[in-house]
Homo-oligomer: A and B are copies of this chain.
Amino acid sequence: MTERKTTRSTSTLSSSSSAGSKRTNYKRKPRRLQRTVAKKSSAHRRVIGNNYSKKPDGKGGKLRVAIVGGAEEVGRNMTLIEYGKDIVLIDMGLQFPEEDQPGVDYIIPNVSYLKGREKDVKGVVITHGHYDHIGGIPHLSPVLHHPPIYGTKLTNGIIKKRQEDFPDKGQIDLREIDVDKSINMGVFTLEFFRVNHNIPDSVGVIIHTPEGTLVHTGDFKFDLQPVMDEVADFHKIASIGQQGVLALLSDSTNAAQPGHQLSESKIGNTLDSIFRDAPGRIIVGTFASLLNRLQQIISISEKYGRKIVIEGYSMRSNIEIAHKLGYLKMNPKTVISAREALKMPPQKVAIMCTGAQGESRAALMRIANREHRNFRIDKDDTVIFSSSVIPGNERTVQRLKDTLLKEGAHVIHYQMMDVHAGGHAKAEDLKLLFRLLNPKYIIPVEGNRFLLEASKSIALELGWQDDKVHVVTNGQIVQFAGGEGKLTKEKIPTDYVMVDGLGVGDVQEVVLRDRQSLSEDGMFVIIVTIHEQTGKLVGSPDIISRGFVYMKDAKHLIEDAREKVRKIVDKGSQNTTSNPQWLKNKLRDDMGQFLFQKTQRRPMILPVVIEV
């Protein structure tokens, strides 16, 4: 999309070559940048060591950087960059819940540090269109009074599409990034460079600040043979490195893995041979968001004359957006409906579907479990899992594979053949990045502690000093002043903000604890009606229990429990100090103990005392 008019804009677009040559037309050009440009235009100096230039003037505020989300997890990515009053945010992602957060849809970054400072947020840059980078937008944009949000064309297409699911959240202020132009946001000037990932139109961000230049990679890999994408902009990266980088914030997702990341094109070769030799139908499970992968599967299907059925709403919608915006090439006749596919010989059909993570309601699981409207597994089917397994899903994915095998399918996954390439730099790629940018400081981002430490190890191996590589926790401020970057003890709030249905942030620890407790041993509601004056039982106590024992098989236990309740109430009514609150506590304690003795389980006991 193109830039929209807005009253609160503080940015202008200006042109600059991708190699970082002379830039003009900055609204407020930071002095540091002017010097850099001057230097750069005079000669292409060979840079040795960290040639970061110190802040030229002594005045002005300090530069503060915090990872709001993405330093202790994979997901809910957001980086905050602050100088004086001005703030720029990079990414606004979501994270899928941990095991101890049942029922939660997802988690978004905590922006309570920005409360009252909404107008200081000069811009939000989105590096690419994956949910762990865009997923917080519908919820956080209104909270921040709709600051300008910048993304590349495809990224914005995906953001806009998702926004349709949140009609009540107000209009977001979406603006398009031209990778060859810079953008002013308050005191900051931003530039961009293309990176590879497994979705096209991904960018890294260069943030020129009065204290020096920061570089944020977003999610990235270097792919020398990308598919339907340009090669990462090595020239621009090298040029920025030559000009001097104060600090690099770099993707750590695959930092613990040795070697180089596989090229997407390599996957193509493997997929090609599988498509060539498969005796029957091919079913490819992958992520809806791996657009480069979807492109390959479509191209190879076309090559071998297979028609494609797309199963999964998100996959269909991503393909539509990417195709419409020119990021996906396909013959529109390649895609057919399930009904058409059922009439064709299986060796002419490929099904491309979601659910490779074992999601229970996704297409692949329903096909495996014979619950899919149109498709069952046939003996000659080849099922390809063209994605990695997200940590935590290993068992579910294994069960899905087992089911497919039992149904007779031939199953191929990335541990057997190269049917998946990750989207993130591995150790050797990070070394190249570090060498090209040669930053004074490195702040690993996007990963849990273990992955951040793996990034740090790589930097130390290359000769960075321990105090030049800052492994931070979420919210921890790194402060730059006079060319020095210090890890402070200051921490901005980063508590989980959980989205559950329509509720944002209303599910708190106590609710989660209750959910966990309910899932362990269920619950046991005891309802007693007592006479207001005498405290004597009226009628029989009611007992409702769920998730504790199978009630039909436990009649005896329930009858004993009811008898025990009667006795407790009886005893209470003879006790002059008794009252409904006392009785409730008594019921909770005594019945808890009683049931534990009988079953060794601890259901949640909920006593209700009704006085009539």
Query: What residues of B have a CB within 8 angstroms of the CB of A507 in the complex?
Result: 549-550
| A102 engages B550 (CB within 8 Å) | no
| A511 engages B515 (CB within 8 Å) | no
Q: Check if A612 is an interface residue, CB within 8 A of chain B.
A: yes
Give the contacts of A532-546 with B (CB-CB under 8 A). 538-539, 542, 544, 546
Stretch at the interface among A245-253, A349-357, A448-456: A448-456
| A511 engages B548 (CB within 8 Å) | yes
Q: How far is the CA of A158 from the CA of B402 in the complex (A)?
A: 33
Give the contacts of A575-612 with B (CB-CB under 8 A). 598-601, 604, 606, 608, 610, 612
Q: How far is the CA of A124 from the CA of B392 in the complex (A)?
A: 36
Query: What residues of B have a CB within 8 angstroms of the CB of A395 in the complex?
Result: 98-99, 391-392
| B523 engages A546 (CB within 8 Å) | yes
Q: Check if A43 is an interface residue, CB within 8 A of chain B.
A: no
The number of times this chain is found in the oligomer is: 2
Q: Check if A230 is an interface residue, CB within 8 A of chain B.
A: no
Q: How far is the CA of A502 from the CA of B602 in the complex (A)?
A: 12
Q: How far is the CA of A450 from the CA of B403 in the complex (A)?
A: 9
| A401 engages B598 (CB within 8 Å) | no
Interface size, chain A (Cβ < 8 Å): 68
Q: How far is the CA of A538 from the CA of B525 in the complex (A)?
A: 20
A612-B529 contact in complex given A103-B520, A402-B448, C-beta closer than 8 Å: yes
Q: How far is the CA of A403 from the CA of B546 in the complex (A)?
A: 36
Query: What residues of B have a CB within 8 angstroms of the CB of A608 in the complex?
Result: 525, 527, 542, 544, 608
> Which of B256, B402, B544, B547 contacts A72 (CB under 8 A)?
B402
Q: Check if A317 is an interface residue, CB within 8 A of chain B.
A: no
Q: Check if A367 is an interface residue, CB within 8 A of chain B.
A: no
| B549 engages A503 (CB within 8 Å) | yes
Interface string of A389-415 (1 = CB under 8 A from B): 001101110110111011000010001
| B394 engages A102 (CB within 8 Å) | no
| A506 engages B606 (CB within 8 Å) | no
- Measured between C-beta atoms, what is the minimum distance from A546 to chain B in Å? 4
Query: What residues of B have a CB within 8 angstroms of the CB of A392 in the complex?
Result: 394-395
Q: Check if A501 is an interface residue, CB within 8 A of chain B.
A: yes
- Measured between C-beta atoms, what is the minimum distance from A520 to chain B in Å? 4
Q: Check if A48 is an interface residue, CB within 8 A of chain B.
A: no
Q: Check if A233 is an interface residue, CB within 8 A of chain B.
A: no
Query: What residues of B have a CB within 8 angstroms of the CB of A500 in the complex?
Result: 521, 601
Q: Check if A516 is an interface residue, CB within 8 A of chain B.
A: yes
Q: Check if A172 is an interface residue, CB within 8 A of chain B.
A: no
A406-B502 contact in complex given A523-B518, A525-B606, C-beta closer than 8 Å: no
- Measured between C-beta atoms, what is the minimum distance from A486 to chain B in Å? 19
Q: Check if A467 is an interface residue, CB within 8 A of chain B.
A: no
Give the contacts of A487-516 with B (CB-CB under 8 A). 500-503, 506-508, 510-512, 514-516
- Measured between C-beta atoms, what is the minimum distance from A443 to chain B in Å? 16
Query: What residues of B have a CB within 8 angstroms of the CB of A512 in the complex?
Result: 547
Residue of B nearest to A503 (CB): B599
Q: Check if A553 is an interface residue, CB within 8 A of chain B.
A: yes
A525-B506 contact in complex given A450-B402, A473-B406, A600-B501, C-beta closer than 8 Å: no
Query: What residues of B have a CB within 8 angstroms of the CB of A98 in the complex?
Result: 395, 399
| A502 engages B546 (CB within 8 Å) | no
| A598 engages B502 (CB within 8 Å) | yes
Q: Check if A53 is an interface residue, CB within 8 A of chain B.
A: no
A546-B529 contact in complex given A600-B502, A612-B612, C-beta closer than 8 Å: no
Q: How far is the CA of A403 from the CA of B612 in the complex (A)?
A: 54
Residue of B nearest to A401 (CB): B450
Binding site for B on A (CB under 8 A): 72, 98-99, 102-103, 256, 391-392, 394-396, 398-399, 401-403, 405-406, 411, 415, 448-450, 453, 473, 500-503, 506-508, 510-512, 514-523, 525, 527, 529, 538-539, 542, 544, 546-550, 553-554, 598-601, 604, 606, 608, 610, 612
Can you report 12 residue pairs joining A to B where beta carbons are below 8 Å apart?
A: A72-B402, A99-B395, A103-B521, A391-B394, A391-B395, A392-B395, A398-B450, A406-B449, A503-B599, A507-B549, A514-B546, A518-B523
Known A506-B554, A511-B548, A525-B525; further 14 A-B contacts with Cβ < 8 A: A72-B402, A103-B601, A406-B449, A502-B599, A508-B553, A511-B522, A511-B547, A514-B522, A515-B518, A515-B520, A518-B518, A519-B519, A529-B612, A610-B610
